[in-house]
Chains A and B, each alone.
Chain A
Amino acid sequence: MAQSRFVYVTFIRTTPEKLWDALTKPEFTRVYWYDMWQDCDWKEGSSWKLMFSDGRIADQGTILASERPKRLVIAWQNEWKPELKAEGPSCATFEIEPAGPAVKLTVTHEIPVAESKLIDAVSGGWPLILSGLKSLLETGEKLAIPHPHPRAENA
Protein backbone atom coordinates (compact mmCIF):
# COMPACT_ATOMS: atom_id res chain seq x y z
CA MET A 1 0.00 0.00 0.00
CA ALA A 2 2.89 2.25 0.79
CA GLN A 3 3.99 5.48 -0.73
CA SER A 4 5.41 6.32 2.68
CA ARG A 5 6.74 3.67 5.02
CA PHE A 6 8.68 3.47 8.27
CA VAL A 7 10.26 0.20 9.38
CA TYR A 8 11.82 -0.37 12.79
CA VAL A 9 13.45 -3.58 13.97
CA THR A 10 14.49 -4.40 17.51
CA PHE A 11 15.67 -7.59 19.21
CA ILE A 12 14.40 -8.22 22.73
CA ARG A 13 15.37 -10.86 25.29
CA THR A 14 11.91 -12.24 25.96
CA THR A 15 9.43 -14.77 24.53
CA PRO A 16 7.01 -14.12 21.65
CA GLU A 17 4.05 -14.52 24.03
CA LYS A 18 5.40 -11.98 26.53
CA LEU A 19 6.14 -9.55 23.72
CA TRP A 20 2.62 -9.96 22.36
CA ASP A 21 1.18 -9.23 25.78
CA ALA A 22 3.44 -6.20 26.22
CA LEU A 23 2.22 -4.84 22.87
CA THR A 24 -1.45 -5.34 23.63
CA LYS A 25 -2.15 -5.11 27.38
CA PRO A 26 -2.83 -1.76 29.08
CA GLU A 27 -0.73 -2.57 32.16
CA PHE A 28 2.32 -2.74 29.89
CA THR A 29 1.55 -0.04 27.33
CA ARG A 30 0.83 2.55 30.05
CA VAL A 31 4.45 2.10 31.20
CA TYR A 32 6.27 2.59 27.88
CA TRP A 33 3.76 4.22 25.50
CA TYR A 34 3.19 7.73 26.84
CA ASP A 35 0.69 6.41 29.44
CA MET A 36 -1.56 5.31 26.60
CA TRP A 37 -3.62 2.11 26.36
CA GLN A 38 -5.55 0.26 23.71
CA ASP A 39 -9.21 -0.68 23.84
CA CYS A 40 -9.54 -3.87 21.78
CA ASP A 41 -10.39 -7.58 22.02
CA TRP A 42 -7.60 -8.36 19.48
CA LYS A 43 -9.83 -10.42 17.18
CA GLU A 44 -9.64 -10.03 13.42
CA GLY A 45 -12.28 -7.54 12.27
CA SER A 46 -12.67 -5.98 15.72
CA SER A 47 -12.48 -2.27 16.36
CA TRP A 48 -9.26 -0.87 17.85
CA LYS A 49 -8.72 2.31 19.81
CA LEU A 50 -5.56 3.90 21.18
CA MET A 51 -6.52 6.08 24.14
CA PHE A 52 -4.75 8.95 25.81
CA SER A 53 -4.50 8.54 29.59
CA ASP A 54 -7.35 11.06 29.98
CA GLY A 55 -9.67 8.86 27.89
CA ARG A 56 -9.61 10.80 24.63
CA ILE A 57 -9.07 8.77 21.46
CA ALA A 58 -5.68 9.29 19.88
CA ASP A 59 -6.07 6.86 16.99
CA GLN A 60 -8.63 4.25 15.99
CA GLY A 61 -9.22 1.57 13.41
CA THR A 62 -9.71 -2.13 12.81
CA ILE A 63 -7.75 -5.31 13.45
CA LEU A 64 -6.89 -6.67 9.99
CA ALA A 65 -4.93 -9.70 11.21
CA SER A 66 -4.28 -11.12 14.66
CA GLU A 67 -2.16 -14.26 15.04
CA ARG A 68 -0.88 -14.40 18.60
CA PRO A 69 2.10 -14.41 19.10
CA LYS A 70 3.36 -13.85 15.55
CA ARG A 71 1.59 -11.14 13.60
CA LEU A 72 -0.73 -8.22 14.27
CA VAL A 73 -1.99 -5.84 11.59
CA ILE A 74 -3.97 -2.71 12.44
CA ALA A 75 -5.78 -0.32 10.07
CA TRP A 76 -4.76 2.83 11.90
CA GLN A 77 -6.51 6.17 11.57
CA ASN A 78 -5.16 9.18 13.40
CA GLU A 79 -7.89 11.08 15.26
CA TRP A 80 -6.19 13.77 17.31
CA LYS A 81 -4.23 15.91 14.89
CA PRO A 82 -6.15 17.37 11.90
CA GLU A 83 -3.24 17.37 9.45
CA LEU A 84 -2.51 13.71 10.21
CA LYS A 85 -6.18 12.69 10.31
CA ALA A 86 -6.61 14.22 6.85
CA GLU A 87 -4.20 11.67 5.37
CA GLY A 88 -6.71 8.86 6.03
CA PRO A 89 -6.04 5.30 7.22
CA SER A 90 -2.54 3.93 7.58
CA CYS A 91 -1.47 0.36 8.29
CA ALA A 92 0.70 -0.80 11.19
CA THR A 93 2.10 -4.33 11.09
CA PHE A 94 3.84 -6.00 14.05
CA GLU A 95 5.81 -9.16 13.27
CA ILE A 96 7.38 -11.30 16.00
CA GLU A 97 9.97 -13.98 15.16
CA PRO A 98 12.30 -16.05 17.33
CA ALA A 99 15.99 -15.05 16.91
CA GLY A 100 18.24 -17.33 18.92
CA PRO A 101 17.89 -16.40 22.60
CA ALA A 102 15.90 -13.27 21.69
CA VAL A 103 12.83 -12.25 19.74
CA LYS A 104 12.87 -10.05 16.64
CA LEU A 105 10.14 -7.42 16.49
CA THR A 106 9.54 -5.65 13.17
CA VAL A 107 7.12 -2.73 13.13
CA THR A 108 6.11 -1.48 9.68
CA HIS A 109 3.91 1.62 9.50
CA GLU A 110 2.80 2.63 6.02
CA ILE A 111 0.27 4.77 4.19
CA PRO A 112 -0.59 5.30 0.50
CA VAL A 113 0.30 9.01 0.72
CA ALA A 114 3.50 10.50 -0.66
CA GLU A 115 5.70 12.37 1.85
CA SER A 116 3.25 11.52 4.63
CA LYS A 117 3.25 13.69 7.75
CA LEU A 118 1.85 10.77 9.72
CA ILE A 119 4.80 8.55 8.77
CA ASP A 120 7.14 11.43 9.59
CA ALA A 121 5.55 11.68 13.06
CA VAL A 122 5.63 7.96 13.81
CA SER A 123 9.26 7.74 12.60
CA GLY A 124 10.17 9.79 15.66
CA GLY A 125 7.74 8.03 17.98
CA TRP A 126 8.34 4.32 17.32
CA PRO A 127 12.07 4.24 18.24
CA LEU A 128 11.26 5.90 21.57
CA ILE A 129 8.24 3.69 22.32
CA LEU A 130 9.97 0.45 21.29
CA SER A 131 13.17 1.33 23.19
CA GLY A 132 10.99 1.70 26.28
CA LEU A 133 9.27 -1.61 25.55
CA LYS A 134 12.63 -3.39 25.26
CA SER A 135 13.89 -1.86 28.50
CA LEU A 136 10.69 -2.83 30.33
CA LEU A 137 10.82 -6.46 29.18
CA GLU A 138 14.56 -6.88 29.80
CA THR A 139 15.02 -4.92 33.03
CA GLY A 140 11.51 -4.75 34.47
CA GLU A 141 11.92 -1.01 34.67
CA LYS A 142 10.51 1.97 32.88
CA LEU A 143 12.95 3.85 30.64
CA ALA A 144 13.34 7.15 32.50
CA ILE A 145 12.71 9.64 29.76
CA PRO A 146 10.87 12.90 30.33
CA HIS A 147 7.26 12.46 29.27
CA PRO A 148 7.13 13.83 25.75
CA HIS A 149 4.19 16.00 24.85
CA PRO A 150 1.93 13.38 23.22
CA ARG A 151 0.31 15.92 20.93
CA ALA A 152 3.70 16.85 19.55
CA GLU A 153 5.58 13.56 19.62
CA ASN A 154 3.16 10.80 18.92
CA ALA A 155 0.74 10.00 16.20
Chain B
Amino acid sequence: MSELTSESTIYVTYIAAAPEKVWAALTSSEFTRQYFFVRTVESDWKQGSPWLLRRPDGAIDVKGEVLESDPPRKLVVSWNVDGNEYMRALPAAVVTYEIEPVGDAVIRLTMTEAHPTPIPAYLLEGGRRGWPMIFSGLKSLLETGKPLNIPTPQPPKED
Protein backbone atom coordinates (compact mmCIF):
# COMPACT_ATOMS: atom_id res chain seq x y z
CA MET B 1 0.00 0.00 0.00
CA SER B 2 1.35 3.33 -1.04
CA GLU B 3 1.78 6.03 1.63
CA LEU B 4 -0.88 8.73 1.99
CA THR B 5 -0.27 12.36 1.13
CA SER B 6 -2.12 15.67 1.18
CA GLU B 7 0.58 17.46 -0.82
CA SER B 8 -0.60 19.94 -3.47
CA THR B 9 0.57 20.05 -7.06
CA ILE B 10 1.11 23.54 -8.50
CA TYR B 11 1.79 24.43 -12.13
CA VAL B 12 2.47 27.94 -13.38
CA THR B 13 2.69 29.09 -16.98
CA TYR B 14 2.72 32.49 -18.69
CA ILE B 15 0.61 32.86 -21.85
CA ALA B 16 0.41 35.69 -24.39
CA ALA B 17 -3.41 35.88 -24.39
CA ALA B 18 -6.20 37.92 -22.84
CA PRO B 19 -7.67 36.64 -19.55
CA GLU B 20 -11.09 36.17 -21.25
CA LYS B 21 -9.49 33.98 -23.91
CA VAL B 22 -7.80 31.80 -21.29
CA TRP B 23 -11.07 31.50 -19.38
CA ALA B 24 -12.81 30.40 -22.55
CA ALA B 25 -10.06 27.87 -23.22
CA LEU B 26 -10.51 26.35 -19.75
CA THR B 27 -14.31 26.19 -19.94
CA SER B 28 -15.23 25.48 -23.61
CA SER B 29 -15.05 22.10 -25.32
CA GLU B 30 -14.01 23.65 -28.65
CA PHE B 31 -10.71 24.44 -26.86
CA THR B 32 -10.40 21.58 -24.34
CA ARG B 33 -10.67 18.88 -27.00
CA GLN B 34 -7.59 20.43 -28.63
CA TYR B 35 -5.32 20.39 -25.56
CA PHE B 36 -6.94 18.25 -22.78
CA PHE B 37 -6.39 14.77 -24.23
CA VAL B 38 -9.37 15.20 -26.58
CA ARG B 39 -11.76 15.60 -23.63
CA THR B 40 -14.79 17.88 -23.52
CA VAL B 41 -16.27 19.83 -20.60
CA GLU B 42 -19.89 20.41 -19.59
CA SER B 43 -21.14 23.02 -17.11
CA ASP B 44 -22.74 26.44 -16.93
CA TRP B 45 -19.74 27.34 -14.73
CA LYS B 46 -21.88 28.97 -12.07
CA GLN B 47 -21.03 28.50 -8.41
CA GLY B 48 -22.80 25.41 -7.09
CA SER B 49 -23.37 23.91 -10.56
CA PRO B 50 -22.10 20.46 -11.55
CA TRP B 51 -19.30 20.15 -14.08
CA LEU B 52 -17.81 17.19 -15.88
CA LEU B 53 -14.98 16.17 -18.13
CA ARG B 54 -15.87 13.60 -20.80
CA ARG B 55 -13.58 11.22 -22.65
CA PRO B 56 -13.73 11.11 -26.45
CA ASP B 57 -15.72 7.81 -26.21
CA GLY B 58 -18.39 9.66 -24.21
CA ALA B 59 -17.55 8.15 -20.81
CA ILE B 60 -17.31 10.50 -17.86
CA ASP B 61 -13.68 10.96 -16.81
CA VAL B 62 -13.99 13.53 -14.01
CA LYS B 63 -16.98 15.12 -12.33
CA GLY B 64 -17.52 17.61 -9.56
CA GLU B 65 -18.99 20.90 -8.49
CA VAL B 66 -18.11 24.49 -9.33
CA LEU B 67 -17.00 25.81 -5.93
CA GLU B 68 -16.10 29.32 -7.06
CA SER B 69 -16.48 31.10 -10.39
CA ASP B 70 -15.15 34.59 -11.00
CA PRO B 71 -14.64 34.96 -14.76
CA PRO B 72 -12.06 35.68 -16.09
CA ARG B 73 -9.94 35.50 -12.95
CA LYS B 74 -10.60 32.47 -10.82
CA LEU B 75 -12.30 29.09 -11.15
CA VAL B 76 -12.38 26.49 -8.36
CA VAL B 77 -13.86 23.04 -8.95
CA SER B 78 -14.07 19.83 -6.96
CA TRP B 79 -12.54 16.96 -8.88
CA ASN B 80 -13.76 13.35 -8.62
CA VAL B 81 -12.09 10.98 -11.01
CA ASP B 82 -14.83 8.69 -12.28
CA GLY B 83 -12.75 6.13 -14.17
CA ASN B 84 -13.47 3.07 -12.00
CA GLU B 85 -14.91 2.02 -8.62
CA TYR B 86 -11.63 2.48 -6.81
CA MET B 87 -11.14 6.03 -8.12
CA ARG B 88 -14.78 6.91 -7.40
CA ALA B 89 -14.26 5.95 -3.75
CA LEU B 90 -11.37 8.40 -3.32
CA PRO B 91 -11.99 11.79 -1.68
CA ALA B 92 -12.40 14.72 -4.08
CA ALA B 93 -9.47 16.92 -5.01
CA VAL B 94 -9.95 20.67 -5.36
CA VAL B 95 -8.53 22.25 -8.51
CA THR B 96 -8.07 26.02 -8.65
CA TYR B 97 -7.23 28.01 -11.78
CA GLU B 98 -6.09 31.60 -11.30
CA ILE B 99 -5.58 33.97 -14.23
CA GLU B 100 -3.63 37.15 -13.49
CA PRO B 101 -2.57 39.82 -16.01
CA VAL B 102 1.20 40.40 -16.13
CA GLY B 103 1.71 43.51 -18.20
CA ASP B 104 -0.61 44.32 -21.10
CA ALA B 105 -0.49 41.19 -23.22
CA VAL B 106 0.43 38.26 -21.00
CA ILE B 107 -1.27 36.38 -18.18
CA ARG B 108 0.06 34.12 -15.47
CA LEU B 109 -2.00 30.94 -15.13
CA THR B 110 -1.61 29.11 -11.82
CA MET B 111 -3.21 25.69 -11.32
CA THR B 112 -3.31 24.20 -7.83
CA GLU B 113 -4.45 20.60 -7.30
CA ALA B 114 -5.13 20.30 -3.57
CA HIS B 115 -6.07 17.21 -1.58
CA PRO B 116 -8.02 18.20 1.54
CA THR B 117 -8.26 14.50 2.43
CA PRO B 118 -5.06 12.45 2.01
CA ILE B 119 -4.81 10.08 -0.96
CA PRO B 120 -2.25 7.40 -1.92
CA ALA B 121 0.92 9.24 -2.97
CA TYR B 122 1.31 7.42 -6.29
CA LEU B 123 -1.96 8.94 -7.51
CA LEU B 124 -0.32 12.38 -7.54
CA GLU B 125 1.87 11.12 -10.38
CA GLY B 126 -1.01 11.20 -12.85
CA GLY B 127 -1.49 14.92 -12.32
CA ARG B 128 2.22 15.63 -12.19
CA ARG B 129 2.67 13.96 -15.56
CA GLY B 130 -0.55 15.29 -17.07
CA TRP B 131 -0.76 18.96 -16.06
CA PRO B 132 2.48 20.04 -17.83
CA MET B 133 1.18 18.39 -21.04
CA ILE B 134 -2.22 20.03 -20.68
CA PHE B 135 -0.93 23.53 -20.01
CA SER B 136 1.86 23.28 -22.59
CA GLY B 137 -0.83 22.39 -25.11
CA LEU B 138 -3.10 25.21 -23.96
CA LYS B 139 -0.29 27.75 -24.28
CA SER B 140 0.66 26.51 -27.75
CA LEU B 141 -2.97 26.55 -28.89
CA LEU B 142 -3.58 30.12 -27.73
CA GLU B 143 -0.25 31.50 -28.92
CA THR B 144 0.08 29.71 -32.26
CA GLY B 145 -3.51 28.68 -33.08
CA LYS B 146 -2.37 25.07 -33.43
CA PRO B 147 -2.74 22.17 -30.98
CA LEU B 148 0.47 20.59 -29.68
CA ASN B 149 -0.86 17.01 -30.01
CA ILE B 150 1.25 15.31 -27.35
CA PRO B 151 0.35 11.60 -27.09
CA THR B 152 -2.14 10.85 -24.26
CA PRO B 153 -0.34 9.33 -21.25
CA GLN B 154 -1.49 6.16 -19.50
CA PRO B 155 -2.94 6.46 -15.97
CA PRO B 156 -0.54 5.88 -13.02
CA LYS B 157 -0.23 2.41 -11.50
CA GLU B 158 0.52 1.43 -7.94
CA ASP B 159 4.01 -0.09 -7.50
Interface positions of A (Cβ within 8 A of B): 8-13, 99-102, 127-128, 131-132, 134-135, 138-139, 141, 143-146
Contact = CB atoms under 8 A, between A and B. Distances in A.
B15 A131 contact: yes
A152 to B, nearest CB: 14
Contact of A144 (B13, B105, B139): B105
A11 B102 contact: no
Contact of B13 (A100, A101, A131, A145): A131
Interface of A is mostly: mixed
Given A131-B139, A144-B103, A10 B132 contact: yes
Interface size class of B (residues with CB under 8 A): 20 to 34
Contacts, number: 64
B151 A127 contact: no
Interface centre among B15, B16, B146, B149 (most CB of A within 10 A): B16
B31 to A, nearest CB: 17
Nearest to A101: B149
B140 A131 contact: no
Interface string B4-42: 000000001111100000000000000000000000000
A139 B144 CA distance: 6
